[in-house]
Structure 1
Amino acid sequence: MDDFIDAKTFAKKFGMSVRKLDYLIENGDVPRPIKIGNSRRWSIAELEQWISQKLEEAKLPPSK
């Protein structure tokens, strides 16, 4: 089973407020969380994959 982190931990790890994280979620800029009870959680494995993808995208030359 995957390990999960909550919104507060996610926001702290990326140097932002939970409110900013909420904004990014609504805009589709970060992976959507899963709901466990009343809590929002992210799979650490999924976040690591998302980070790797974003790093690869940053390396690509801009398209013309």
Structure 2
Amino acid sequence: MSSEAKAVVEVTAKDLHGEGVVFCPNPKMTLWSGHPRVFIDVATTGEGKCPYCGTVYRLKAGEKLHAH
């Protein structure tokens, strides 16, 4: 197993789509290193991890999610 630290991306409530998900790869990632787009639930626990690249998406401290 690699000991290399994976990227952590802090997201705000405005970054979330639909029911509180983000997608990976995100728009800031380079196209050549892309993988199939996956939707990652961040709203449930405050963070989620991409199963392809290991990037962790974490809700920024103090962010409040709005209920519908």
TM-score (norm 1): 0.24
TM-score (norm 2): 0.23
Q: Hey, which of these two has a bigger chunk of helix by percent?
A: 1
